[in-house]
Chains A and B, each alone.
Chain A
């Protein structure tokens, strides 16, 4: 048996992959660290900010892992408590136990989102037909959102292939479709999904006719921890933006109160530089 302790050294611990540090003056910027977005500090020179963000990502991943241990203990302790004491005779006790369990599940979901954001890996690019991926996403979304009608808009002509990380791009499309569906709450609604080639780019739009997004938070929606949904982690669109930009693409959002929201993703067919 090989010496496993060496094979699993901290050097192979997963961590957030930072963008290559740009050259230029390195100036520390508190605003950047607070916003967790080195791009906002580009005029000041972002190399130190990028390195600092990478450190913060590693630290966050470590804290997230460590937070899972007490949550696991709480979950097991609750199960043991339920076995030891019949809570069904006491509605307040039963409710309290249910609430503890519900909050543990919420915390675990939040940690999973945080970890996904902190550990964003470099894209593993392969060639695939973008339209087929969108079809897969729409099919999966039917099961998650049975009250929503999906309208697929396909241009005529051959379906082009793109070179990208299929898993990451699927995460983006799934996330955008989920957001569009959630704009209707539990009411029925319609989501339009279109993809079309435009020169050397492929353009995906996901549109809902929900309530639209408050202009006050619209500008910040792609920043981490900004959400327009109750209970949202505020990481979904931040992850989408990071994935799309790591593929040299762009994601934009237009929204009007009472008229709905349209999110547009533009990706190059071939590998581009972010």
Chain B
């Protein structure tokens, strides 16, 4: 079954707005969060199937968010799509694949995001 509820996590508010509009217009129910420290609680409260997560955020990186989600009862089964322009070494990809994280490397298009989310179907 295709994922329908998606949470976007990014500290860039304009990007949150635009990706939110893109995904809503494609039929997804979207939750947005700009504070990485609140993600685990929001995931427990809203139960998205997929979290589209920026890896490079201040205070708390996307990796720490993913780590925290894995330790949270409501977050353990959530699928993660990581957005990154920084972590593009082979070792990074290998580890993320091992952890079941799908990766979107910048620059990407709206269709790329949707394709990654649908990968989890």
Query: Residues of A at under 8 Å CB distance from B?
Result: 1, 3-5, 7-8, 12-14, 65, 68-69, 71-73, 75-77, 79-80, 83, 108, 111
Contact = CB atoms under 8 A, between A and B. Distances in A.
Contacts of A108: 107
A5 B85 contact: no
A76 B70 CA distance: 30
Interface string B1-23: 00000000000101100110110
A69 B67 contact: no
Contacts of B108: 72
A73 B87 contact: no
B92 to A, nearest CB: 7
Given A72-B106, A75-B107, A4 B63 contact: yes
Interface string B101-117: 00000111110000000
A231 to B, nearest CB: 19
Nearest to A3: B67
Contact of B107 (A4, A5, A71, A79): A71
Contact of A73 (B14, B61, B92): B14
Contact of A12 (B14, B91, B109): B91
Contact of A1 (B12, B70, B88): B70
B95 A4 contact: yes
Nearest to A78: B18
Interface of B: 12, 14-15, 18-19, 21-22, 25, 55-56, 61, 63-64, 66-67, 70-71, 85-89, 91-92, 95, 99, 106-110
Most buried by B among A65, A68, A80: A80
A8 B99 contact: no
Contacts of A71: 107
Contacts of B19: 76
A68 B15 contact: no
A231 B67 CA distance: 44
A14 B105 CA distance: 14
A3 B19 CA distance: 29
Contacts, number: 71
A77 B18 contact: yes
Contact of B21 (A65, A72, A80): A80
Given A1-B71, A5-B64, A8-B63, A68 B106 contact: yes
Contacts of B56: 65
A72 B15 contact: yes
Nearest to B104: A72
A68 B15 CA distance: 12
Nearest to A71: B107
Nearest to B67: A4
21 contacts: A4-B63, A5-B61, A5-B63, A7-B63, A8-B92, A12-B89, A12-B92, A65-B56, A65-B106, A68-B85, A69-B12, A69-B85, A69-B106, A72-B106, A75-B107, A79-B22, A80-B18, A80-B21, A80-B25, A108-B107, A111-B107
Nearest to B61: A5
Contacts of B91: 12
A71 B12 CA distance: 12
Contacts of A14: 86, 88-89
Nearest to B106: A68
A69 B13 CA distance: 11
Nearest to A109: B107
Given A1-B70, A65-B86, A83 B14 contact: no
B22 A7 contact: no
4 pairs of A and B residues whose beta carbons are closest in the complex: A4-B63, A76-B18, A65-B85, A5-B64
Nearest to B70: A1
B107 A8 contact: no
